[in-house]
A and B are shown apart, each in its own frame.
Chain A
Amino acid sequence: MERITPLLWLLFSAGGTVAALLFPVHLLLTGLAFPTGWLEAPSHGSLHRLMTHPVVGVYLFVLISLPLFHWAHRFRYTLYDGLQLTHLTALIAVLCYGAALLGTAMTAYLLWSIR
């Protein structure tokens, strides 16, 4: 575990940067502006065409995977510090990074199958 800590920290900070720069605008559009009808949501056809583009594929992979690792790392320490669950160290780490890995695998699979 100690040996891969720098890698986990790198994923945490890269994911934090991606989430900070890109999540607000996506959340504002997809989560608020489209559902309320303030702006029109893109049609299935155009979104599908967009998502099959290789550059957009890489973008979406980065956009979903890195923030998941950001969550895994930060939430892990929130549980330690906030709830003082120090005795569950190993279990929490496995669950957090495992969930991020699972999400990453699902993203990769979907992006691969949509091509």
Chain B
Amino acid sequence: MSAEPHYTLYHPRWYRRRVSVWWWLRKWSYAGFVLRELTSVFVAFFAVVFLWQLWAVAQGPEAYTQFLARLKTPLFFVLDTVAFLFVLFHAVTWFNLTPKAMVVRLRGTRVPDAVIIGLNYAAWLVLSGAVAFVLLRA
């Protein structure tokens, strides 16, 4: 990747108006787009919490108790609540987008979007139940 700009030969650079950094606050649909993109930050946050839990369990019972105590602090409770809402937003927008990213054809006809979206939600329900079952029975 080079930092050099690419110029088209014998062409002036077209005039481009500067767009404000806050362009996405002008419309709800733009704000929704940026909020959706920001869900990734909370996805990463929870992946790190997971890593931390893994580390605590590997360290021993004391570290694990400390991990559980840390999650009870108001800071983590607020962070986890916000992260949960963002992750839910990610899940819903992700499932609703799948038929656009993945077109499935069955015997020559396109599988309706609603079916693909429905299957996603069904998988979500089943997997969530399985995870809860394993974790609560442990």
Tell me the smallest distance from the CB of A95 to a CB of chain B, in Å.
12
Contact A64 B37 (CB under 8 A): no
Contact B44 A75 (CB under 8 A): yes
- A66-109 Cβ-contact flags toward B at 8 Å (1 or 0): 01101100110110011110010110010000000001001100
Contact B80 A31 (CB under 8 A): yes
A interface, size bucket: 35 or more
A7 near B: Cβ within 8 Å? no
Contacts of A45 in B (CB 8 A): 61
Contact B44 A71 (CB under 8 A): yes
- B28-53 Cβ-contact flags toward A at 8 Å (1 or 0): 00000010011011011011111101
B138 near A: Cβ within 8 Å? yes
Bound complex: CA A73 to CA B94 (Å): 15
Bound complex: CA A83 to CA B120 (Å): 33
Closest chain A residue to B98, Cβ basis: A17
Bound complex: CA A89 to CA B2 (Å): 10
**Which residue among B38, B40, B46, B49 has the maximum number of chain A CB atoms within 10 Å of its CB?**
B40
Q: Which of B37, B64, B72, B120 contacts A47 (CB 8 A)?
A: B64
> Among the listed stretches B7-15, B84-92, B105-113, which one makes contact with chain A, having 4 or more residues with CB under 8 Å of it?
B84-92
Q: Which of B34, B57, B83 contacts A48 (CB 8 A)?
A: B57
Contact A41 to B91, CB < 8 A, known contacts A29-B135, A77-B37, A82-B37: no
Contact A31 B84 (CB under 8 A): yes
Contact A42 B135 (CB under 8 A): yes
Bound complex: CA A27 to CA B79 (Å): 11
Apart from A28-B84, A64-B51, A70-B43: 7 A-B pairs, beta carbons within 8 A: A24-B91, A32-B80, A34-B71, A67-B43, A75-B41, A90-B1, A110-B54
Q: Which residues of B contact A (CB under 8 A)?
A: 1, 3, 19, 21, 24, 34, 37-38, 40-41, 43-44, 46-51, 53-55, 57-58, 60-61, 64-65, 68, 71-72, 76-77, 80-81, 83-84, 87-88, 90-91, 94-95, 101, 120, 123-124, 127-128, 131-132, 134-136, 138
Q: Which residues of A contact B (CB under 8 A)?
A: 1, 13, 15-17, 19-32, 34-36, 39, 41-51, 60, 63-64, 67-68, 70-71, 74-75, 77-78, 81-84, 87, 89-90, 93, 103, 106-107, 110-111, 113-114
The 6 closest A-B pairs by CB, nearest first: A31-B80, A71-B44, A25-B128, A74-B40, A20-B91, A20-B94
